Structure 1
Amino acid sequence: MALGRGAACHVRGTAGTCAASQAALCKATAGHRQLVLQLGGSGDGPWLREERRRRSAEAQELSTGLRRVLLGELRQELVSPEERRELERLWVLFLSALELFLKDLRRAHHLCQLFPAQGDGAALLHTGLGGQRGGGPAQPPAAPHLEEEIEQVRATLAEMESGANIPPWTVEATQAAGTGSTTARAAQGESHPGHCCRVL
């Protein structure tokens, strides 16, 4: 009996840690999205592109750790139904966050093709008037690291979906519309695990 209580305490601690990591991941991906939306604009340049790459690396590091812990705990047998529901809820939220992150990486790849950096590192700002200068290609290849980032996130998603059989449609919202999303709260540094959705 004592072993069961100890295991339950361990899972509660793990779920809390995972919830905090999930909030940090949402904050990192939200920051990454803001940087992606500036690509090709007047604020584009070497600093913006390096900061986007750094924020992407941070999000991928968080997702790697969170995936490993969640998958390990979901495969444990000594998990109470309540704790399993919380872990499954976090798993589905994690999938959703990574899918949005992958979408933003693809958008960044497209924008970097439209607005390639010059050889000296300065970004080009195209107004769409007068076409390309010098007769260059309409869409030069984006930086190779973006393709690597996309492939890594895509591989993580595939591993998650095959590693745990948790259909996303088993989770439903439990807060009223318009009261703010988990991602929005996480971007503001807040974390309220267990209050935005529940497992059916």
Structure 2
Amino acid sequence: MTEDEILAEFRASDALLEGHFILSSGRHGAQYLQCARLLMNPARAARVAAALADKLPGNIRRSIDIVVSPAMGGVIIGHEMGRALGLDALFLERPEGTFELRRGFRLQPGQKVLMMEDVVTTGLSSREAIQAIQDAGGEVIAAGALIDRSNGAAQFDVPFFPLLTLDVPSYAAEELPPELAAIPAIKPGSRTETPAG
């Protein structure tokens, strides 16, 4: 898929919003990507996952044993990546604020993992997910995301493969430009606890 085709998928599903948004990281931005809207259509979810799977280098793709994603945002795309790669897909949850495997999910020691996210803003929650996977015995060999909107700030100790990179500025609450500060902020995400990225 080309960048225009990927953006067309977001626009067709009303998943690319314009305004003043408080992102899950706690930062503010003028655009918001609601990946749940994109992924609610199974055929569209399968298309974007297949496109991302095609971007993975062959040596990494062949080495992955399992896909693990953080809940909630990563669950559907993680599942679809599992389907695209012909692998099982597990998800992490934060019942007490820290990611962990639950529901009988477990990793075999040394199992090679693709950690899969929907959107990466700061990379903090992705790094927390990678740590939880390592703590559970897995070896994260790559990270993937539908969208990297970190403007290069998200750094991982493994190769990172976003389907699309959007260089959209985000701002701390005290650093808002006047045009953004003039618009009431809304928080369209699903998380209500302390922002983590």
TM-score category (smaller protein): under 0.3
What is the TM-score when the length of structure 1 is the normalising length?
0.24
Bigger strand fraction: 2
Bigger helix fraction: 1
Greater relative CO, 1 or 2 (CA 8 Å, sep 6+): 1
What is the TM-score when the length of structure 2 is the normalising length?
0.24
